[in-house]
Amino acid sequence: MTGHRPFGRKPSASAVFLVLALLVGAVTLVTVGLRGGAPLTPAAQARQIAAGLRCPVCEDLSAADSPAPLAGQMRAQIRQQLAAGRSPAQIRARFVASYGDSVLLSPPARGLGRVAHLLPALVLLVGLATAVVLLRRWRTAEPVPTVATPVDVRPAPRPSRRAPATRPRRSAAARTAIAMALVVPLGTATAVLLNNAVTPRQTAPVAKAAAAPGANQGAVDAPAVTDAQLAAVSTGVAEVRRHPRSVTAHLALARAYAAVQQRQLSTVEYLAAARLSPDDAEANTGLALAAFTAGQPREALTLLDRVLVVTPRYPEALYVRGLVRLMGLKQAAAAKTDLDAYLAAAPFGSHRTAVQTLLAMIPAADR
Amino acid sequence: MSTPDLVQQSRRRGGLWLFVVGVVVAAAVALLATWLARDPSASRSPLVGRPAPAFRLPGLGGAPVSLAGLRGQVVVVNFWASWCTECHTEQAALNSTWDRFRDSGVVVLGVDFQDSSDDARDYLARAGISYPTVVDGRSRTALAYGLRGIPETFVIDARGRVVDRVIGPVDEARLAAHITPLLRAAT
């Protein structure tokens, strides 16, 4: 007869692991609880916030750890905002507003990210449930020495872990499947984490030092102006042939012809665009300019009035109408209104210098 | 119930239980792995569809420019630097977009990012840039726009809302495809 033991047998390795796991959990909880009580200094708080934010130009480093200048600016902003009285949550929210959730190194506690936050609790529950099931199974297994018979006077063999009499054994295939179900995803996650940790991908700002001065300058300096304009004409002609009913194609060709001083050809293309789309502002303004340069300011004005009724702030039409009124129709006051409107509508427009010259030409009495 | 039946039933229940546990853990780990493995630069800017962050920045050799002062214009904000080789690649597209639309209510605005003023001015002259350019000295505007690298370009409509963000070099066709309907809508 063997001595009394809990569950009637020597504690199995599973039970030992369970006790160890509970001990580790308890120690962790106590440690976290003690650490959580200490107040953080502003510098430590800033570092803690930065450590939870991804450095946007190096992707796999936190803003606290990255040497990139932009990460340094993030740390400076965090310090400034803390000093201004903003809470860590507000500071994080500002970065999320600009970068989205991907700036956070840990998933947000909403949407899909909630799963990651619930995972520890889920794992704990599953572990507890597993422990309960195992304990119940051991208890039911305890008094059933099924291999002993009444005539057998020898003590019943102690149930072996390797060959329990009543404990069901799974087939090798089932055990392999269960092991794979647990090991494969865990292995994948570990590999992803390790890969992210050791191979940060760097983007342009971090590669600043590697950029040779003057490298790839050809794209900037290469196309001579005349070649580019001629190329635009060739492309425009090809596009119009390919899409003869495309307003965009006719307008592009009209601009290309105008750029190489082919005014008549340009006018033909504007006319084609205006026929396809009678209210098109650019086509009608182009035709108005052609009419004005051909000595027909009234026809030009009619076209421009029509354009500006539909699109009152269209800068090109305001400029051309101002020009027509001032130079062609001698209507200085009305021209001034148009030219002033152009300056307001196109703060960086190409005609600003010309408009200021035209305005200076208007006699004070006519203003 | 006989012992073999009990054994079989217990085996079935245990197997089912472990299968459920395996599936739950696998699903949770797969979700976590998906989150960790995603490419942040591929995400859509949260600014698209929202008001563009305001700024007022000193001009690079010109007057200061504020975004509020450009209300009513379609604004193409391009973050660049003289040391950025990809910025050189897109320069022709930006220049021709500016030439094409500058009198149609469009402003291309260069924002110089983490650069030396001398290098930047030198680049402006060599690249034939005639659109206004400002300096983001402390990268505040870059952070407000969620910059992930340069070049990066934002298209802002006449009401001041971000319509598109392009990470990497822009091409003229994409810019024109955004700008043209915005000009029609603005009128």
pLDDT tens-place string over residues A209-247: 333 333 333 333 333 446 777 788 888 888 888 888 899
Q: How far is CA A236 from CA A244, A256, A339, A351, in A?
A: 11, 7, 31, 25
pLDDT at A74: 94
Residue A113: pLDDT band with limits 50, 70, 90: low
Contact A168 B14 (CB under 8 A): yes
Choice between A33 and A332, residue whose per-residue pLDDT is larger: A332
Kindly give, in sequence order, each residue whose CB lies less than 8 Å from that of residue A135, ignoring residues fewer than 6 positions away.
Answer: none
Higher pLDDT, A144 or B170: B170
Residue B180 reports pLDDT greater than 50: yes
What pLDDT was estimated at residue A1?
43
What is the residue whose two structure tokens read 């600014």?
Answer: B47
pLDDT at A121: 74
Nearest to A119 among B6, B32, B99 (CB): B32
Highest mean pLDDT: which range of A125-139, A225-239, B2-16, B161-175: B161-175
User: Which tens digit of pLDDT belongs to each residue from B91-123?
Assistant: 999 999 999 999 999 999 999 999 999 999 999
CB contact under 8 A, B14 and A170: yes
Q: Map tokens 């030198």 to a residue.
A: B122
Q: Residue B112 belongs to what H/E stretch? A: strand B106-113
Is pLDDT of A174 > 80? Answer: no
Query: Strand pairing of B152-156 and B74-80?
Result: antiparallel
Return the pLDDT at A173.
61
Residues within 8 A of B (CB atoms), A 327-346 only: 345-346
Assess whether pLDDT exceeds 90 at residue A75. Answer: yes
Of B3, B72, B103, the CB nearest to A351: B103
A76 touches chain B (CB under 8 A): yes
Helices marked H in B64-116 — which ranges? 85-101
Report pLDDT for B115: 92
> Looking at the DSSP assignment, which residues form a beta bridge with residue B113?
B136
The β-bridge partners of A62 are: A54
- How does pLDDT run across A78-104, given as a tens digit for each residue? 999 999 999 999 999 999 999 988 888
Under an 8 A CB cutoff, do B114 and A208 touch? yes
For residue A198, the model assigns a pLDDT of 37
pLDDT band at A175 (very low <50, low <70, confident <90, very high): low
Residue B135, phi then psi, degrees to nearest 5: -115, 125
pLDDT of A49 reads 94
Confidence of residue A43 (pLDDT cuts 50, 70, 90): confident
- Percent with pLDDT over 70 in chain B: 90
Interchain contact, B70 vs A282, CB within 8 Å? no
* Strand-pair category, B152-156 with B133-136: unpaired
| DSSP state at residue B72 | T
Burial of A229 (0-12, 13-18, 19+ CB in 10 A): middle
User: What pLDDT score was predicted for residue A197?
Assistant: 43
Give how far B47 is from chain A: nearest CA, Å.
6
Number of Cβ pairs < 8 A linking chain A and chain B: 206
For A:343-362, CB contacts with B below 8 A are: 345-351
Would you state the pLDDT for residue B103? 94
Inter-chain residue contact B145 with A98, CB threshold 8 Å: yes
* The token pair that represents A182 in the structure block: 């647990």
Average pLDDT in chain A: 74
SS3 B76: strand
Per the CB < 8 Å rule, is A115 touching B17? no
To the nearest whole Å, the CA of A286 is away from the closest chain B CA by 12
User: pTM value?
Assistant: 0.58
Percentage of residues of chain A with pLDDT beyond 90: 26
Q: How many Cβ atoms from other residues are within 10 Å of residue A31's Cβ? A: 10
pLDDT exceeds 50 at position A203: no
Q: What is the pLDDT of residue B134?
A: 97
Contact A178 B19 (CB under 8 A): yes
CB-side neighbour CA atoms (13 Å) of A211: 21
Asked if A190 has any chain B CB less than 8 Å from its own CB, the reply is no
Q: Mapping DSSP to helix (H, G, I), strand (E, B) and coil, where does residue B12 land?
A: helix
Phi, psi angle pair for B167, to nearest 5°: -95, 125
| Nearest chain A Cα distance for residue B177, angstroms | 11
A313–B105: do the CB atoms touch at under 8 Å?
yes
- The pLDDT of residue B23 is 86
Q: What is the ipTM of this complex?
A: 0.74
Q: How many Cβ atoms sit within 10 Å of the Cβ of residue A60?
A: 19
Alpha helices in chain B (DSSP H): 3-37, 85-101, 117-127, 140-144, 172-186
What average pLDDT score do residues A62-81 get? 91
Query: Residue B84 and residue A310: Cβ atoms within 8 Å?
Result: no
Q: Which one-letter DSSP state was computed for residue B40?
A: G
Neighboring chain B residues of A97 at a CB cutoff of 8 Å: 46-47
* Confidence check: pLDDT of A329 > 70: yes
Overall average pLDDT of the B57-65 stretch: 91
What is the average per-residue pLDDT within B14-18? 78
Q: Which helix (H) or strand (E) holds B73?
A: none
> Considering chain B, what is the average pLDDT of its residues?
88
Tell me which residue of B106, B67, B94 sits closest to B187, measured CA to CA. B106
Which chain A residue has its CA at the smallest distance from B90's CA?
A: A219
Of the candidates A124, A125, A92, A123, which has an alpha carbon nearest to the alpha carbon of residue A107?
A: A92
B61 vs A63 pLDDT, higher one: A63
- Average pLDDT, integer, range A170-186: 58
CA distance A64 to chain B (A): 15
d(CA B26, CA A185): 5
**Cα B139 to the center of its chain, rounded Å:** 15
pLDDT band at A146 (very low <50, low <70, confident <90, very high): low
Tell me which of A60 and A87 has the higher pLDDT: A87
Q: Which one is predicted more confidently, A167 or A92?
A: A92
The residue ranking higher by pLDDT, A186 or B74, is B74
Comparison of pLDDT for B77 and A121, the residue scoring more:
B77
Would you say residue A302 has pLDDT above 90?
A: yes
Considering only the beta carbons, identify the residue of A99, A221, A348 that sits closest to B131: A348
For the CA atoms of chain A, what is the radius of gyration?
40
The reported pLDDT for the residue numbered A36 is 54
**Which of B6, B60, B98, B103 would you mutate first to test chain A, the one with the most A CBs within 10 A?**
B103
